[in-house]
Structure 1
Amino acid sequence: MLSGERALTAAHDGTVKMWDVRTDTRVVTVGRCSSAVLCMEYDDSTGILAAGGRDVVANIWDIRAGKTMHKLVGHNKWIRSIRMVGDTVVTGSDDWTARMWSVS
Protein backbone atom coordinates (compact mmCIF):
# COMPACT_ATOMS: atom_id res chain seq x y z
CA MET A 1 0.00 0.00 0.00
CA LEU A 2 1.21 3.47 -0.82
CA SER A 3 0.72 6.34 1.55
CA GLY A 4 -2.57 8.16 1.11
CA GLU A 5 -5.22 6.80 -1.21
CA ARG A 6 -3.15 4.63 -3.56
CA ALA A 7 -2.53 0.88 -3.72
CA LEU A 8 -0.21 -1.35 -5.75
CA THR A 9 -1.19 -4.70 -7.22
CA ALA A 10 0.76 -7.43 -9.00
CA ALA A 11 -0.78 -9.78 -11.53
CA HIS A 12 -0.39 -13.09 -13.30
CA ASP A 13 0.12 -11.21 -16.60
CA GLY A 14 3.31 -9.64 -15.20
CA THR A 15 1.94 -6.15 -14.63
CA VAL A 16 2.32 -4.03 -11.52
CA LYS A 17 -0.36 -1.35 -11.33
CA MET A 18 -1.13 1.62 -9.13
CA TRP A 19 -4.78 2.27 -8.21
CA ASP A 20 -6.71 5.13 -6.68
CA VAL A 21 -8.69 3.39 -3.93
CA ARG A 22 -11.18 6.25 -3.62
CA THR A 23 -12.35 5.95 -7.23
CA ASP A 24 -11.37 2.32 -7.98
CA THR A 25 -9.48 3.44 -11.08
CA ARG A 26 -6.05 2.53 -12.38
CA VAL A 27 -3.65 5.44 -12.16
CA VAL A 28 -0.75 3.89 -14.05
CA THR A 29 0.91 0.61 -14.96
CA VAL A 30 4.12 0.97 -12.97
CA GLY A 31 6.01 -1.81 -14.69
CA ARG A 32 5.86 -5.13 -16.44
CA CYS A 33 7.68 -8.39 -15.82
CA SER A 34 7.87 -11.00 -18.55
CA SER A 35 5.82 -13.47 -16.49
CA ALA A 36 3.62 -13.66 -13.39
CA VAL A 37 4.61 -11.51 -10.42
CA LEU A 38 4.65 -13.61 -7.25
CA CYS A 39 6.05 -11.10 -4.74
CA MET A 40 6.76 -7.41 -4.41
CA GLU A 41 7.70 -4.79 -1.88
CA TYR A 42 7.50 -1.02 -1.96
CA ASP A 43 9.42 1.54 0.09
CA ASP A 44 7.25 4.65 0.33
CA SER A 45 10.11 6.75 1.69
CA THR A 46 12.22 6.25 -1.47
CA GLY A 47 9.61 5.39 -4.11
CA ILE A 48 11.47 2.16 -4.94
CA LEU A 49 9.47 -0.94 -5.88
CA ALA A 50 10.96 -4.43 -6.11
CA ALA A 51 9.09 -7.32 -7.71
CA GLY A 52 9.94 -10.90 -8.62
CA GLY A 53 8.25 -14.01 -9.91
CA ARG A 54 8.20 -16.63 -12.60
CA ASP A 55 10.62 -14.84 -14.93
CA VAL A 56 13.39 -15.37 -12.28
CA VAL A 57 14.40 -11.68 -12.46
CA ALA A 58 14.08 -9.19 -9.62
CA ASN A 59 12.82 -5.98 -11.20
CA ILE A 60 13.52 -2.69 -9.44
CA TRP A 61 11.59 0.46 -10.37
CA ASP A 62 11.68 4.05 -9.23
CA ILE A 63 7.95 4.64 -9.48
CA ARG A 64 8.20 8.35 -8.73
CA ALA A 65 10.49 8.85 -11.73
CA GLY A 66 8.56 6.27 -13.76
CA LYS A 67 11.62 4.27 -14.79
CA THR A 68 13.24 0.88 -14.44
CA MET A 69 16.34 0.99 -12.27
CA HIS A 70 17.61 -2.60 -12.40
CA LYS A 71 16.86 -6.10 -13.60
CA LEU A 72 18.66 -8.35 -11.12
CA VAL A 73 19.59 -11.68 -12.70
CA GLY A 74 21.00 -14.61 -10.73
CA HIS A 75 18.25 -17.05 -9.78
CA ASN A 76 17.39 -19.95 -12.06
CA LYS A 77 13.93 -20.74 -10.67
CA TRP A 78 10.93 -18.66 -9.59
CA ILE A 79 11.46 -15.87 -7.09
CA ARG A 80 8.97 -16.44 -4.26
CA SER A 81 9.95 -13.75 -1.76
CA ILE A 82 11.47 -10.30 -1.83
CA ARG A 83 12.36 -7.87 0.95
CA MET A 84 13.95 -4.42 0.94
CA VAL A 85 15.93 -3.09 3.88
CA GLY A 86 17.49 0.27 3.17
CA ASP A 87 19.62 -0.08 0.04
CA THR A 88 19.54 -3.89 0.14
CA VAL A 89 17.12 -6.21 -1.65
CA VAL A 90 16.93 -9.84 -0.53
CA THR A 91 15.32 -12.41 -2.82
CA GLY A 92 14.35 -16.02 -2.10
CA SER A 93 13.85 -18.55 -4.87
CA ASP A 94 12.68 -22.06 -5.67
CA ASP A 95 16.34 -22.72 -6.61
CA TRP A 96 16.95 -23.00 -2.84
CA THR A 97 19.02 -19.82 -2.67
CA ALA A 98 18.62 -16.39 -1.18
CA ARG A 99 20.49 -13.51 -2.74
CA MET A 100 21.36 -10.06 -1.46
CA TRP A 101 21.55 -7.16 -3.89
CA SER A 102 22.51 -3.51 -3.51
CA VAL A 103 20.01 -1.17 -5.17
CA SER A 104 22.65 1.49 -5.70
Structure 2
Amino acid sequence: MSSMEIDFKQYQLRCQLRGHEDDVRGICVCGSEGIATSSRDRTVRFWSLDSSDKRKYVSSKMLLGHSSFVGPLAWIAPDEEFPEGGIVSGGMDTMVFVWDLRTGEKVQSLKGHQVQVTGVVLDGGDIISSSVDCTLRRWRKGQPVESWEAHKSAIQAVIKLPSGELVSGSTDTTLKLWRGKTCLHTFSGHTDTVRGLGVMHGLGILSASHDGSIMLWAQSGEVLMVMVGHTSIVYSVDAHVSGLIVSGSEDRFAKIWK
Protein backbone atom coordinates (compact mmCIF):
# COMPACT_ATOMS: atom_id res chain seq x y z
CA MET A 1 0.00 0.00 0.00
CA SER A 2 1.45 3.39 -0.97
CA SER A 3 1.52 6.42 1.35
CA MET A 4 -1.45 7.86 -0.54
CA GLU A 5 -3.53 4.71 0.07
CA ILE A 6 -3.15 4.43 3.84
CA ASP A 7 -6.48 3.93 5.59
CA PHE A 8 -6.06 6.17 8.63
CA LYS A 9 -9.32 4.85 10.11
CA GLN A 10 -7.50 1.59 10.81
CA TYR A 11 -4.98 3.32 13.09
CA GLN A 12 -5.25 2.57 16.80
CA LEU A 13 -3.02 2.55 19.87
CA ARG A 14 -0.47 -0.21 19.32
CA CYS A 15 1.57 -0.08 22.53
CA GLN A 16 2.86 2.22 25.25
CA LEU A 17 6.51 2.79 26.12
CA ARG A 18 6.82 2.84 29.90
CA GLY A 19 10.08 3.59 31.66
CA HIS A 20 10.72 7.32 31.94
CA GLU A 21 10.28 8.80 35.40
CA ASP A 22 9.21 12.26 34.23
CA ASP A 23 7.59 13.87 31.20
CA VAL A 24 8.81 12.84 27.75
CA ARG A 25 10.25 15.84 25.89
CA GLY A 26 11.43 14.40 22.58
CA ILE A 27 10.87 11.44 20.28
CA CYS A 28 12.65 10.21 17.19
CA VAL A 29 11.86 7.30 14.85
CA CYS A 30 15.15 5.55 14.14
CA GLY A 31 14.57 3.90 10.78
CA SER A 32 13.42 0.32 11.25
CA GLU A 33 15.77 -0.13 14.20
CA GLY A 34 13.57 1.40 16.89
CA ILE A 35 12.45 4.58 18.63
CA ALA A 36 14.41 7.03 20.80
CA THR A 37 12.81 9.15 23.52
CA SER A 38 14.12 11.88 25.80
CA SER A 39 12.80 13.07 29.12
CA ARG A 40 12.91 15.56 31.93
CA ASP A 41 14.32 12.62 33.94
CA ARG A 42 17.68 13.42 32.23
CA THR A 43 17.79 10.20 30.21
CA VAL A 44 17.53 9.12 26.60
CA ARG A 45 16.01 5.70 26.04
CA PHE A 46 16.20 3.53 22.95
CA TRP A 47 13.30 1.16 22.36
CA SER A 48 13.65 -1.97 20.20
CA LEU A 49 11.00 -4.34 18.91
CA ASP A 50 10.09 -6.97 21.48
CA SER A 51 11.35 -10.31 20.11
CA SER A 52 8.41 -12.12 21.73
CA ASP A 53 5.72 -9.71 20.47
CA LYS A 54 6.46 -7.70 17.33
CA ARG A 55 3.67 -5.25 18.12
CA LYS A 56 5.51 -4.04 21.22
CA TYR A 57 8.76 -2.26 22.02
CA VAL A 58 11.08 -2.74 24.99
CA SER A 59 13.69 -0.39 26.45
CA SER A 60 16.99 -1.82 25.21
CA LYS A 61 19.33 1.08 26.03
CA MET A 62 19.28 3.86 28.61
CA LEU A 63 21.72 6.65 27.72
CA LEU A 64 22.99 8.52 30.78
CA GLY A 65 25.07 11.68 30.67
CA HIS A 66 22.91 14.80 30.65
CA SER A 67 22.72 16.69 33.94
CA SER A 68 19.33 18.26 33.23
CA PHE A 69 16.28 17.52 31.11
CA VAL A 70 16.83 16.28 27.58
CA GLY A 71 14.85 17.61 24.61
CA PRO A 72 15.66 17.37 20.89
CA LEU A 73 16.85 14.15 19.28
CA ALA A 74 18.21 13.16 15.88
CA TRP A 75 18.91 9.72 14.39
CA ILE A 76 22.22 8.79 12.77
CA ALA A 77 21.59 5.95 10.32
CA PRO A 78 23.98 2.96 10.51
CA ASP A 79 27.31 3.57 8.78
CA GLU A 80 30.95 2.61 9.17
CA GLU A 81 31.37 4.77 12.28
CA PHE A 82 28.05 3.72 13.84
CA PRO A 83 27.32 0.13 12.69
CA GLU A 84 24.05 0.04 14.67
CA GLY A 85 23.26 3.72 14.30
CA GLY A 86 23.59 6.62 16.68
CA ILE A 87 21.60 9.29 18.50
CA VAL A 88 22.23 13.02 18.86
CA SER A 89 20.65 14.64 21.93
CA GLY A 90 20.44 18.21 23.20
CA GLY A 91 19.72 19.27 26.74
CA MET A 92 18.88 22.01 29.20
CA ASP A 93 22.48 21.54 30.42
CA THR A 94 23.71 23.35 27.22
CA MET A 95 25.29 20.14 25.88
CA VAL A 96 24.92 18.22 22.64
CA PHE A 97 25.86 14.54 22.98
CA VAL A 98 26.42 11.88 20.33
CA TRP A 99 25.71 8.28 21.35
CA ASP A 100 26.81 5.00 19.76
CA LEU A 101 23.84 2.63 19.93
CA ARG A 102 26.03 -0.46 19.58
CA THR A 103 27.64 0.22 22.95
CA GLY A 104 25.21 2.69 24.49
CA GLU A 105 28.18 4.94 25.19
CA LYS A 106 28.55 8.69 24.70
CA VAL A 107 31.20 9.21 22.02
CA GLN A 108 31.08 12.99 21.50
CA SER A 109 30.39 15.87 23.88
CA LEU A 110 29.76 19.12 22.01
CA LYS A 111 30.18 22.09 24.33
CA GLY A 112 29.65 25.65 23.15
CA HIS A 113 26.10 26.80 23.73
CA GLN A 114 25.56 29.08 26.71
CA VAL A 115 22.03 27.98 27.61
CA GLN A 116 19.45 25.33 26.69
CA VAL A 117 19.80 23.44 23.40
CA THR A 118 16.43 23.52 21.61
CA GLY A 119 17.11 21.71 18.34
CA VAL A 120 19.48 19.25 16.66
CA VAL A 121 19.47 18.26 13.00
CA LEU A 122 21.86 16.40 10.70
CA ASP A 123 23.30 18.17 7.66
CA GLY A 124 25.28 15.58 5.75
CA GLY A 125 27.99 14.51 8.18
CA ASP A 126 27.58 17.66 10.27
CA ILE A 127 25.35 18.38 13.25
CA ILE A 128 23.46 21.68 13.49
CA SER A 129 22.21 22.76 16.91
CA SER A 130 20.02 25.65 18.01
CA SER A 131 19.76 27.27 21.41
CA VAL A 132 18.05 29.79 23.62
CA ASP A 133 21.39 31.67 23.36
CA CYS A 134 20.17 32.87 19.90
CA THR A 135 22.83 30.97 17.96
CA LEU A 136 23.03 28.17 15.44
CA ARG A 137 26.17 26.05 15.65
CA ARG A 138 27.70 23.60 13.20
CA TRP A 139 29.73 20.64 14.47
CA ARG A 140 31.87 18.23 12.45
CA LYS A 141 33.47 15.06 13.83
CA GLY A 142 33.04 16.31 17.38
CA GLN A 143 34.53 19.75 16.77
CA PRO A 144 32.94 23.20 16.34
CA VAL A 145 33.07 24.47 12.76
CA GLU A 146 31.09 27.70 12.90
CA SER A 147 28.42 29.52 14.87
CA TRP A 148 26.36 32.60 14.25
CA GLU A 149 23.71 34.73 15.90
CA ALA A 150 20.69 33.71 13.86
CA HIS A 151 18.06 35.69 15.79
CA LYS A 152 18.03 38.44 18.40
CA SER A 153 15.86 36.29 20.68
CA ALA A 154 15.87 32.63 21.72
CA ILE A 155 15.79 30.06 18.92
CA GLN A 156 13.16 27.42 19.63
CA ALA A 157 13.57 25.05 16.66
CA VAL A 158 15.65 24.24 13.60
CA ILE A 159 14.93 21.91 10.68
CA LYS A 160 16.59 21.01 7.40
CA LEU A 161 14.57 21.20 4.19
CA PRO A 162 14.79 18.50 1.48
CA SER A 163 16.45 21.14 -0.72
CA GLY A 164 19.27 21.51 1.82
CA GLU A 165 18.49 24.86 3.44
CA LEU A 166 17.97 25.29 7.18
CA VAL A 167 14.98 26.98 8.80
CA SER A 168 15.02 28.41 12.32
CA GLY A 169 12.10 29.61 14.44
CA SER A 170 12.41 32.06 17.30
CA THR A 171 10.85 33.86 20.23
CA ASP A 172 11.17 37.00 18.05
CA THR A 173 8.06 35.62 16.18
CA THR A 174 9.94 35.03 12.90
CA LEU A 175 11.27 32.13 10.87
CA LYS A 176 14.50 32.46 8.92
CA LEU A 177 15.66 30.50 5.88
CA TRP A 178 19.42 29.82 5.77
CA ARG A 179 21.92 28.65 3.19
CA GLY A 180 25.08 28.26 5.22
CA LYS A 181 25.33 31.39 7.38
CA THR A 182 23.46 33.50 4.82
CA CYS A 183 19.87 34.39 5.63
CA LEU A 184 17.88 34.07 2.41
CA HIS A 185 14.55 35.19 3.81
CA THR A 186 12.83 36.24 7.04
CA PHE A 187 9.23 35.05 7.45
CA SER A 188 7.01 37.43 9.42
CA GLY A 189 3.39 36.69 10.27
CA HIS A 190 3.10 35.12 13.70
CA THR A 191 2.37 37.40 16.64
CA ASP A 192 4.15 35.32 19.28
CA THR A 193 6.99 32.79 19.65
CA VAL A 194 7.54 30.30 16.82
CA ARG A 195 7.84 27.06 18.80
CA GLY A 196 7.75 24.21 16.28
CA LEU A 197 8.69 23.65 12.64
CA GLY A 198 7.90 20.99 10.08
CA VAL A 199 8.15 20.24 6.37
CA MET A 200 5.16 19.73 4.11
CA HIS A 201 6.76 17.90 1.21
CA GLY A 202 6.24 19.54 -2.14
CA LEU A 203 4.58 22.61 -0.64
CA GLY A 204 6.66 24.37 1.98
CA ILE A 205 7.37 25.00 5.65
CA LEU A 206 5.02 24.55 8.61
CA SER A 207 5.29 26.63 11.77
CA ALA A 208 3.53 26.29 15.13
CA SER A 209 3.28 29.27 17.44
CA HIS A 210 2.42 30.46 20.92
CA ASP A 211 -0.20 32.63 19.18
CA GLY A 212 -2.29 29.46 18.75
CA SER A 213 -1.93 29.20 14.98
CA ILE A 214 -0.20 26.95 12.46
CA MET A 215 1.05 28.49 9.22
CA LEU A 216 2.13 26.96 5.93
CA TRP A 217 4.74 29.03 4.08
CA ALA A 218 6.20 28.89 0.60
CA GLN A 219 10.00 29.17 0.60
CA SER A 220 9.52 32.60 -0.97
CA GLY A 221 7.91 33.76 2.28
CA GLU A 222 4.31 33.78 1.07
CA VAL A 223 1.76 32.52 3.59
CA LEU A 224 -0.15 29.73 1.84
CA MET A 225 -2.47 28.76 4.69
CA VAL A 226 -3.28 29.66 8.30
CA MET A 227 -4.85 27.03 10.55
CA VAL A 228 -6.59 28.24 13.72
CA GLY A 229 -8.32 25.84 16.09
CA HIS A 230 -6.18 25.41 19.18
CA THR A 231 -7.01 27.49 22.25
CA SER A 232 -3.46 27.74 23.62
CA ILE A 233 0.22 27.48 22.67
CA VAL A 234 0.91 25.15 19.72
CA TYR A 235 4.15 23.33 20.48
CA SER A 236 4.60 21.04 17.51
CA VAL A 237 3.55 20.40 13.94
CA ASP A 238 4.35 17.80 11.30
CA ALA A 239 2.95 16.54 8.00
CA HIS A 240 2.53 13.25 6.16
CA VAL A 241 3.29 12.92 2.45
CA SER A 242 -0.46 12.36 1.88
CA GLY A 243 -1.12 15.97 2.91
CA LEU A 244 -2.21 15.24 6.47
CA ILE A 245 -1.03 17.86 9.01
CA VAL A 246 -0.86 17.09 12.75
CA SER A 247 -0.38 19.64 15.54
CA GLY A 248 -0.01 19.38 19.32
CA SER A 249 -0.90 22.05 21.84
CA GLU A 250 -0.88 23.09 25.48
CA ASP A 251 -4.69 22.85 25.22
CA ARG A 252 -4.15 19.05 25.53
CA PHE A 253 -5.36 18.34 22.00
CA ALA A 254 -3.58 16.93 19.00
CA LYS A 255 -5.41 18.10 15.90
CA ILE A 256 -5.37 16.64 12.39
CA TRP A 257 -5.80 18.98 9.42
CA LYS A 258 -6.60 17.89 5.88
Q: Shorter-chain TM-score category?
A: 0.7 to 0.9
**What pairs up with 1:16-95 in 2 under 5 angstroms?**
16-20=136-140, 22=141, 24-29=142-147, 32-43=150-161, 45-63=162-180, 66-85=181-200, 86-95=202-211
Matched residues in 1 for 2:170 and 2:183: separation?
Answer: 16
Cα deviation for residue 84 of structure 1 reads: 2.2
CA contact (8 A) 1:79 1:92 kept: yes
Q: Which amino acid aligns with 1:103?
A: Q
Matched AA of 1:54: T
Distance (Å, rounded) in 2 between the aligned partners of 1:9 and 1:100? 23
- Is the CA contact 1:38–1:80 (under 8 Å) kept in the aligned structure 2? yes
Q: Counterpart of 1:59 in 2: which secondary structure? A: strand
Q: Once superposed, what is the RMSD of the aligned Cα atoms?
A: 1.6
In 1, the alpha carbon distance for the partners of 2:171 and 2:193 equals 5
Give runs of ≥4 in structure 1 deviating > 3 Å: none
**Which residue identity lines up with residue 97 of structure 1 in the other structure?**
S
- Return closer, same or farther for 1:89/1:71 CA change in 2, 3 Å cut-off: same
How far apart, CA to CA, are the structure 2 residues paired with 1:27 and 1:67? 15
Q: Which runs of 5+ in 2 are unaligned?
A: 1-121, 221-258
Larger radius of gyration: 2
Higher relative contact order (CA 8 A, sep 6+): 1
Q: Any gaps of 5 or more consecutive residues in structure 1?
A: none
Match of 2:216 among 69, 75, 100: 100
TM-score (norm 1): 0.84
Kindly tell me the number of residue pairs found equivalent between the two proteins. Answer: 98
1:5-53, Cα deviation, whole Å (9 max, x unpaired):
x100001111111101x2x22111255111111111013x422101102
